[in-house]
Amino acid sequence: MSVSIVGTYHSKVGRLKEETLYSLLVEAGKGALEDANLTGKDIDAVYVGNYSGGGFNHQEHLAPYAIEIDEGLRFKPCIRVENACASGSTAVEEAMMAIQAGKIKTALVIGVEKMTSLNTKGVTDVLAMASYYPVEGSKGYTFPGLYAEYAKGYMKKYGYSIEELYDTLAHISVKAHKNAMSNPLAQMHVEYTHEAAKSVHDKNPMIADPLKLSDCSLISDGAAALVLTTTENAKAMKDEVVEIQSLVHASDHLSIVEGKRSNYELTAAKYAVKKALEEVNLTIDDIDVAEVHDCFTITELLIYEALGLAPDGKGREALDNGIVYPGGKLPVNLSGGLKAKGHPVGATGASMHVLIARQLLGNAIGLQAEGAEIGLTLNIGGSGATNIASILKRIK
């Protein structure tokens, strides 16, 4: 049974001083219901993607709070899922399965995170719990440090020089910030120059060698929500809807530093993308627009290769030939991505699905990929242990 999106909502992303974990969850849930012209009574289950309400906000067991969105949700199943920064896509996945199981018809999916309740040190410590803590977080590894392992691994594997790396990563950072200028909900509306992003200097300090500040995504508050239902039901509700045609979730070993998986490619992400495309008999050439997990600029470079936009070790080509820029064959992260739109971690996967749905409906939040019909999301958790790829298509 196929599943479609009939309502979406995306909050502002940033340091939202007036908002709490609770207010963001309610804002997003109400917004998606309103967009779908539904009330709580029409919803059969709520799935909440949240990384660490415990660590950031002293709040586990968040899902039943969804009843505060609408009393009509009382006595419905409310479920929290957590898979680090891929919690939002996991919520989409589980809601889809409940619908496909025939157990429910319509689900509300909410991704939410409130990170700025802690200072930067506190946030870093909470995020470190998404690593394999005994071997990584507890030994001082931060997430910039874990992704620095990929940067170093990539340079070593392909003989990529630090100058080449910095030049390539600067292009990715500059693209993200430029795209975000058009996104009214983005956290940062500040353009970088290529030179500023390329070099290490006072305003662009080294965070985890070789990754600089300009290579890192943001600490954010935000939420996004979707209403999912059977495609049959969706078509009865709206003229045009967005179907989630495939969603593939592939896990890999939790730790990167133990050496049980690659440090120069996103092996399981590549696997997930390949399988998601195969399931619907498409190739990457059929995809019109993508939102992918640029938690660090190096991650986006590796994702170009995981998507098959460039051969292994030559991800840079996707930038050089213009594919991934606005107006290119496959614009990537028109929203500004995690780098500039922001990265409220548990919300990010839901955000990606909302952003692509809006692109395909011709109603983009920010830059529009003209005429886009088929889109892709790729959401990653931890240092590559959780990987979820979705293919979305506009249908009548």
* Structure token pair of residue 111: 């991704």
Q: Does 353 interact with a second copy (rule: CB under 8 A)?
A: no
Q: How far apart are CA 299 and CA 338, in angstroms?
A: 11
Q: Is 353 left (phi over 0), alpha (psi -120 to 50) or beta?
A: alpha
Pattern 16-55, binding to a second copy, x per CB under 8 A?
----x-x-----------------------x----xxxxx
Q: Does 217 interact with a second copy (rule: CB under 8 A)?
A: no
CA distances from 357 to 68, 338, 379 (A): 26, 17, 15
Pick from 103, 139, 194, 203 the residue near a second copy by CB under 8 A. 103
* Structure token pair of residue 118: 């802690």
Q: Smaller CB distance to a second copy: residue 41 or 156?
A: 41
Q: Which residues pair with 46 in a beta bridge?
A: 78, 108
Q: Does 118 interact with a second copy (rule: CB under 8 A)?
A: no
> Least distance in Å: CB of 209 to a second copy?
24
For residues 369 and 228, is the Cβ–Cβ distance under 8 A? no
- How many alpha carbons fall within 13 Å on the CB side of residue 166? 18
Q: Smaller CB distance to a second copy: residue 74 or 156?
A: 74
Q: Does 139 interact with a second copy (rule: CB under 8 A)?
A: no
* Structure token pair of residue 301: 């470079």
Nearest Cα to Cα of residue 367 among 322, 323, 337:
337
Near a second copy by CB under 8 A, which window of 35-43, 97-105, 161-169, 235-243? Answer: 97-105
Pick from 75, 163, 239, 396 the residue near a second copy by CB under 8 A. 75
Work out the widest C-alpha separation in the chain, in whole angstroms: 59
> Least distance in Å: CB of 83 to a second copy?
6
CA distances from 310 to 115, 315, 372 (A): 35, 5, 21
Pick from 119, 138, 283, 321 the residue near a second copy by CB under 8 A. 138
For residues 179 and 326, is the Cβ–Cβ distance under 8 A? yes
Tell me the DSSP string of 50-66: -S-HHHHHS----GGGG
Pick from 2, 142, 233, 251 the residue near a second copy by CB under 8 A. 251
Near a second copy by CB under 8 A, which window of 93-101, 165-173, 285-293, 351-359? Answer: 93-101
For residues 368 and 359, is the Cβ–Cβ distance under 8 A? yes
Near a second copy by CB under 8 A, which window of 140-148, 217-225, 236-244, 247-255? Answer: 247-255
Active site residue 85: yes
Q: Does 122 interact with a second copy (rule: CB under 8 A)?
A: no
Near a second copy by CB under 8 A, which window of 25-33, 122-130, 147-155, 364-372? Answer: 122-130
For residues 295 and 375, is the Cβ–Cβ distance under 8 A? no
Pick from 66, 227, 301, 389 the residue near a second copy by CB under 8 A. 66
Q: Is 260 exposed, middle or buried (0-12, 13-18, 19+ CB in 10 A)?
A: exposed
Pick from 4, 32, 36, 80 the residue near a second copy by CB under 8 A. 80
Helix or strand run (H / E) with residue 8 = strand 3-10
Pick from 76, 171, 339, 393 the residue near a second copy by CB under 8 A. 76
Q: How far apart are CA 348 and CA 359, in angstroms?
A: 16
- CA dihedral sign, ordered 256, 59, 14, 11: positive
For residues 78 and 67, is the Cβ–Cβ distance under 8 A? yes
Active site residue 343: yes
- Tell which positions 292-311 bind a second copy, by CB under 8 A: none
Q: Does 59 interact with a second copy (rule: CB under 8 A)?
A: yes
* Structure token pair of residue 23: 């207010």
Which phi and psi (to 5°) does residue 46 adopt? -120, 130
Pick from 67, 155, 213, 361 the residue near a second copy by CB under 8 A. 67
Near a second copy by CB under 8 A, which window of 203-211, 252-260, 285-293, 350-358? Answer: 252-260
Pick from 26, 130, 165, 227 the residue near a second copy by CB under 8 A. 130
Q: Smaller CB distance to a second copy: residue 101 or 327?
A: 101
Q: Does 123 interact with a second copy (rule: CB under 8 A)?
A: no
Q: Does 212 interact with a second copy (rule: CB under 8 A)?
A: no
The site for a second copy (CB under 8 A) is made up of 1, 20, 22, 46, 51-55, 57-61, 63-68, 73-84, 90, 93-94, 96-103, 126, 128-134, 137-138, 249-254, 268, 271, 381-382, 385-386
**What is the set of active-site residues?**
85, 343
